[in-house]
Structure formats: C-alpha cells, structure tokens
C-alpha cells in the first residue's frame, strides 16, 4: 500500500500533469455555475469540486472525449492511479462526491445518457481512534482554573462535570438549572435525538458543583431573574452576561487551562474529555453496555471503539515495560 502523500507532495504531483484543455475548463465552469444556482453551494465547496475535476481532466488530457466523455472504466483507472500515488482515502471519498455531482449534472442536462460515477464504490475511510488524555493529564487540567475567581470556579465545575459524566460539549452548555439532583448525586442529560439519561456523579464533581452553585452562580446571575435560553430553559452555567457559555468560549477556556496545566493545548478538545471519561472507565474494568448507557450511544458498536483505544494503550504499555517488548 502506498504511503499517504502530504499536501505539498499532492500539489507537486498535480502540477506535473498536462495543462487543462479549454473544452474541459468550459464543462467544469458550466457545472459549477449550475451547482451554485441550483444548490447555493459555498465557495469552498465549489473550489473543491473545481480542483477535483480539473485534476481528472488533466490526467485524461483530452482522451476519449475528455472529461465529459469519460466512462466508468476511465474513472476506475483514475482512482487506481490515485491509490498508487498515495492519495488519502478521505481525499478519494471527496473526489467520488465530486464525480457523482458532475456526471449527475451531465445526465440531468441531457449531455449524457448514462452516469459513469453511479456505481463507484466509496473508498474505505479508516475510523480514527479517539484521542484520550492520561489520568494525570486530566488531573492537571481540572486543577488549572483559578477557583478564587467566579469564572474560574465555574470552569472548574464545568470541567469536573464534563469528565465525571462524559458529556458532549453541547450537552454541557445546554444543561438547565434544574438538571443536577444533588440529593441523588446525578445529572439529567438531554442527548442526541432528544433522549434523556441520568448519569451518576462522583464526590469531586458534586463538591465543585456545590461550590459553584453556592458561591459563583448567585453572583453571576445577579438580582434579576436569569433569562431563559433558546430552549426555554434557564441555563445552569452562566457567563458574566448571564447567558450560557457558547461552545467557542468553552473551547477557548479549555485551551487556556490546558496551557496553564502544562498539557499541549493541541491535544485537548471538549470531546477529548468525553473520550478520556470512556477510556479511563474501560481501563478500570467498566462494562461496555453500562458505558453505552452513560455515554448515551444508540448503538453498542459506537461504544466499542473505546475498546480499541484501551487495547492500544495496553499494547503500548507492554511494549514500553516488558523485558522482551
């Protein structure tokens, strides 16, 4: 299997192809004009279509009627050439979408009676493993906010809750003020598809939630009633503007706290904390179906990806420490 090429290598390879022929350039422009007029595609989408189609046209260099005359075998040959050149499967998956759109347009406009791209099998795109932090990295990240400030106390409570319950960032920001049941030690979460789940909380997360609710939230809320959010609920976590923090604001705060904790901010994402929650539970012997319920996954197959993470970490541990590793 050819090694995946870098962006610079792909561009150099594309520059080595013959110049674009005028007939192919006109055909591509007609398609892009129609795609913009009919679907209102964004400029970036149109440019991606243009790059994909121009490279195919230059690779064919006018043979067999150029771009508009390509048959299914020609498209297969082109995909095989790209595979030999080391193009990434994701790039080929996007190319397939470009080909389907272009030749579908030719069929609708009457320029062709067949669709050579209709039966192209999508390339298999490897599913990346979730990136989880180590337990020590999580400990450092959670301890990073300055809890002497209102915002720092709020951030500490949010991070503790996100890691304790494995929440998505949208679920965390959307929590209503009545979501936490401190008597039962759990949080009620509204997940994807409007499915509700109750997730238990540990002592640490409950401690920081209580401190936030007693010391920070009343000050952030002020003396007037807190306005409800778009969902009609009063948010649990508040900014100085008395609104729920946005995803972007939480992302920026997370990066800032990661840097303060000595953790590479490039490796830390809101979803990474969810991955860390799942991976650490599995590493400590949690049942996969119980984990599925905690994460709110509709299918067990979605949860099973975390077993790959845990197994990979065990393999690396063995390789590092076993005398014959």
Active site residues: 168, 192, 271, 274, 297, 306
Q: How far is CA 7 from CA 2, 12, 71, 128, 253, in A?
A: 15, 9, 28, 19, 31
Count of CB atoms situated within 10 Å of the CB of 61: 13
Taking the C-alpha atoms of residue 33 and residue 70, their distance in angstroms, rounded to an integer, is 21
Q: What angle do CA 151, 137, 239 make, to 5 degrees?
A: 15
Core vs surface per residue 131-162: b (16+ CB within 10 A) or e: ebbeeebbebbbebbebeebbbbbbbbbbbbb
Taking the C-alpha atoms of residue 252 and residue 201, their distance in angstroms, rounded to an integer, is 25
Helices (H), 86-134: 89-109
């Amino acid at each position: 299997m050819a090694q995946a090429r870098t962006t610079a290598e792909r561009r150099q390879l594309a520059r080595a192809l013959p110049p674009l022929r005028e007939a192919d350039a006109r055909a591509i422009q007609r398609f892009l004009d129609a795609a913009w007029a009919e679907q209102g595609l964004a400029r970036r989408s149109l440019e991606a279509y243009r790059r994909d189609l121009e490279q195919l046209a230059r690779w064919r260099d006018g043979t067999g009627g150029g771009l508009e005359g390509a048959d299914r075998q020609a498209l297969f040959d082109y995909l095989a050439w790209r595979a030999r050149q080391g193009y990434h499967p994701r790039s080929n998956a996007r190319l397939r979408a470009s080909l389907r759109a272009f030749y579908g347009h030719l069929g609708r406009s009457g320029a062709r009676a067949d669709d050579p791209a209709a039966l192209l099998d999508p390339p298999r795109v490897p599913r990346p493993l979730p990136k989880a932090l180590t337990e020590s990295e999580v400990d450092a990240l959670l301890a990073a906010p300055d809890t002497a400030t209102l915002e720092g106390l709020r951030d500490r409570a949010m991070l503790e809750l996100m890691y304790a319950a494995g929440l998505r960032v949208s679920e965390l920001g959307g929590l209503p003020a009545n979501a936490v049941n401190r008597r039962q030690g759990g949080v009620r979460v509204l997940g994807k598809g409007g499915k509700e789940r109750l997730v238990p909380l540990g002592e640490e997360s409950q401690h920081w939630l209580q401190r936030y609710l007693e010391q920070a939230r009343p000050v952030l809320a002020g003396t007037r009633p807190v306005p409800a959010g778009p969902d009609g609920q009063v948010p649990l976590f508040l900014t100085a503007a008395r609104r729920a923090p946005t995803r972007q604001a939480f992302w920026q705060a997370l990066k800032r706290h990661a840097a303060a904790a000595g953790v590479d901010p490039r490796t830390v994402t809101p979803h990474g904390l969810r991955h860390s929650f799942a991976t650490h539970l599995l590493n400590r012997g949690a049942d996969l179906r119980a984990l599925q319920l905690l994460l709110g996954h509709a299918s067990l197959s979605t949860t099973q990806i975390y077993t790959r993470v845990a197994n990979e970490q065990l393999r690396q541990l063995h390789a590092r420490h076993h005398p014959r590793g």
